Amino acid sequence: MTDHSHWHGRTLLLGVTGGVAAYKVADLASRWTQRGAKVRVRMTPSACKFVQPLTFEAVTRQPVTTEIWQPLGTGDRPEHIGSGDEADLFIIAPASADHLARLAQGFGDDAVCLTALAWEGPLVICPAMNDRMWRHAAVQANINTLRERGAEIIDPGVGHLACGSVGPGRLADLDVIDGRVDQILGARELS
Ligand SMILES: Cc1cc2nc3c(=O)[nH]c(=O)nc-3n(C[C@H](O)[C@H](O)[C@H](O)COP(=O)(O)O)c2cc1C
C-alpha cells in the first residue's frame, strides 16, 4: 500500500479557473483531503460557473474563497497574503488560457491570480483547453514566461476534448498530477 504519511499536516492551495475540467479537480481535492492534507481552494468567478464552490467545500471540509473582497478580522492579514505562510504548494488546475495570460502579466483581480502574486513557494500549473487554444502563440508565450519564472507546467494530455476535437489540450491525467504533487511534498519533507 502506498505510504501517504508525508501528506499529514500539509496545506495545499488549489486554484481552480474557468474550464470544463474543473469538475475533475474535485476528485484531486478529495484524494488529498483523505490523505490528511488541508486543501484550501480558490476559485475564479468563471470556475464557479462550471462547478459550485459547495462541491469543493464538501470534499475538503474547508471554506472556499471565491471573492477577494472579504471582511478582515481584527489583526488578520488579507487572505492572499496570510495563506502564503502556511501552504506547502500552490497548484492551479485547470488553468484556463485566460488565466495563463493573467498570471504571466501579473494580474491580481481574482482570488487565484491574487494569491499567485503573493506566493513565493512551489507553483504547479495544469493548463486545459481546446487544442487550437493550446497551440495559439499567445498561450505558448505565456507558458514559456511562467516556466522561465520557475512555475512547473504539467502539460495537457492528448485525446478527446469536450468541444468534440481530438488533440492536445485535455487536463493531464489526474494520476500524473497527483503523482507529481506527491513527489514535491515528499521532497519538501526531506529538505
Ligand atoms: C462552455 C465553455 C467551456 C470553456 N472551457 C474552457 C477550457 O476548457 N479552457 C479554457 O482555457 N477556457 C475555457 N473556456 C473559456 C473560459 O471560461 C473564459 O476564458 C473565462 O474568462 C476564463 O476565466 P478565468 O481564467 O478567470 O477562470 C470555456 C468557456 C465556455 C463558455
Model confidence pLDDT, tens digit, residues 24-40: 999 999 999 999 999 99
For residue 116 and ligand 1, the question of a CB distance below 6 A is answered with no
Q: By alpha-carbon position, which residue is closest to atom 11 of ligand 1?
A: 96
Pairing of strands 11-16, 38-43: parallel
Calpha distance 86→135 (Å, rounded): 36
Q: What is the pLDDT of residue 191?
A: 44
Q: Is the dihedral of CA 20, 26, 32, 35 positive or negative?
A: negative
Specify the ligand 1 atom closest to the Cα of 113.
Answer: 26
SS3 149: coil
DSSP element (H, E) containing 169? strand 166-170
Ligand 1 center–CA 72 separation, angstroms: 31
For residue 99 and ligand 1, the question of a CB distance below 6 A is answered with yes
Class of domain 9-67+78-190: alpha beta
- Cβ neighbors of 57 (< 8 A, separation 6 or more) are 41, 63, 64
For residue 91 and ligand 1, the question of a CB distance below 6 A is answered with no
Calpha distance 49→57 (Å, rounded): 16
Residue 47: alpha-carbon gap to chain centroid: 11
Q: What is the mean pLDDT of the chain?
A: 92
Q: Does 48 qualify as catalytic in the annotation?
A: no
How would residue 86 be classed by pLDDT, with cut points 50, 70 and 90?
confident
Q: By alpha-carbon position, which residue is closest to atom 30 of ligand 1?
A: 19
Indicate the range of 13-22, 57-66, 82-91, 105-114 predicted with least confidence: 82-91
Q: How many CB atoms lie within 10 A of CB 141?
A: 13
Q: What is the pLDDT of residue 73?
A: 67
For residue 97 and ligand 1, the question of a CB distance below 6 A is answered with yes
